[in-house]
A and B are shown apart, each in its own frame.
Chain A
Amino acid sequence: MNHLEHKHDRAVRYFHWVNAPLLAVMIWSGLLIYWAYDPYEIAIRGIVLVKFFPDWFYHHLDLKFGLATGMAYHFAFMWFFAVNGLLYIGYTAWSGHWRDLRPTRRTPIEAFHVVLHDLRLRKEPLPPGKFNAAQRLAYAGVVMMGAGSVISGLAIYKPTQLAWLTTLLGGYQAARLEHFALTVGYVLFFIVHIAQVIRAGWNNFRSMVTGYELIPVAQEATPHVHPKPEPAASAS
């Protein structure tokens, strides 16, 4: 016997699924732009470990000679990306769901335990909760990264009219590097995210589609989800 338990609000699911293709378009058009000046690499003592990017990468993904196209798409889809992100942040603030993501003082050590648990190096079960500590850190972090992308993007987009912002971020080239590094961060997040979704299984994935998880009744004694707070009361 099972029962359904609410997990993800409809609005959050929409913002999540709308964001996925928007971010993909932003990364693709961003790569078209980056190709025109691609100086970044990770090197230790002159030995290049990672080059952003080798020629085969541009070649196989058809990213060459697309600066004008990349800018056109980037400066169009930036609006959808930013508006979707702002609506999401606004909704989490209004509904109180930001509390599900807010890291606490114990979060870093608990997140470390989650990692050990996931790597099967730690036997103790994870404490119950909608999101575990590692998820809190990752999800709160990726939202902050989104804000960082918009802010650093503005700093590169209007470095004269918004010179104060560009200067605040360390200058034009620093802002460009930050904007790029955040994108690398999304890709790393995406890889871990997909691996964890696969690991967590169908019931978890389905909850991001339907909003509900199927819970065996026997587990009812340990509530899996905290009661949904009343929106108006929790907005403060």
Chain B
Amino acid sequence: MPDRLTEGLIDLLRPLLAVLLGLAVGAVAIWATGHPVGEAYAALWNGAFGNRTFLGSTLARSSTIALAGLGVAVAFRAGALNLGGEGQLALGGLAAALFTIYVPLPGPLPLVAGLLAGAAGGALWALLPAWLEVRFRVQLLISSLLLNYVAVYSASYLVSVPFRDLSGGGALAQTRLIPEAARIALLPGTRMHAGILITLALSLVLWFVMMRTVTGYEWRMTGLNPDFARYGGVDRVRALVTAMLVSGAVAGLGGAIEVMAVYHRYIDGNLTRPGFAWSGLMAALLADNHPLGVLLAAFLLGVIQVGSTGMERTTQIPLEISSVVQAVIVLFVSVRIGADLLRRFRGRRAARG
């Protein structure tokens, strides 16, 4: 039994060590700018947790990162290297905005319809690279990556020309406001919104799907060893397509919630500039694609990102330091420092016994 505990500890140790190393690199960068490191990190902590508003922003951002990350985690678990989160997120947001604006529905339906439209938008866009892989053997990694640019430019065009809001002079490339009924409630005085509940619920649901359903089992086995899955009667194409659909739907939902709770309209660039999709990817890598781990990792990244905004306000250290720290963390996780060597050593011993 102690082995199980050790296994679990090793799983936790790796990202933890990486985070510490990432913060250490951040400290060097802060030191290089001439600011006292302790003060800067205190400002970061304060920026993320200092008051209700800050905490709300942190949670709101973490929520969207988590959705993007959950999408990545599902795809990666199934062995599909979906790098198209950015496009899936943006098109999900756009679909939610356009659907709620142009399809009037009674009662609370716009809320549901908006979320569904967002999920559908992301899912359909994710289907495209899956289809290209199955039908034309185009590597999903590259096609999904390139499709980001296609999606982002297309969305930008749509809100700049045909669906542009011309009411206020049309200075900005954005859609009209979505109807009141389609807006997700905010906690007063903060940016914390009810969408966070959806994120929490969804990560539990996805954990359940991955660990407790046949579909999830087939995804995981396909990801771990496609030959083993095939030998056991798993349909590879089905596993790939369903994983990509769910992956895209979750990312699309992230875009939809961001639109419906925070901006109440699709504003060109607002879903891409904060780098939600890439932060989500990092969260998934950090959590080794575990749905509940993604929540934690997304929260960590949210803290770093929102906190660094606060740090910039009080110390003038550029907030981009957060991107540096995050990327360094993921790099350290990718080399599986220390912990993995330990596991490999233990594995070898076990193989010998």
Chains A and B are bound partners: no
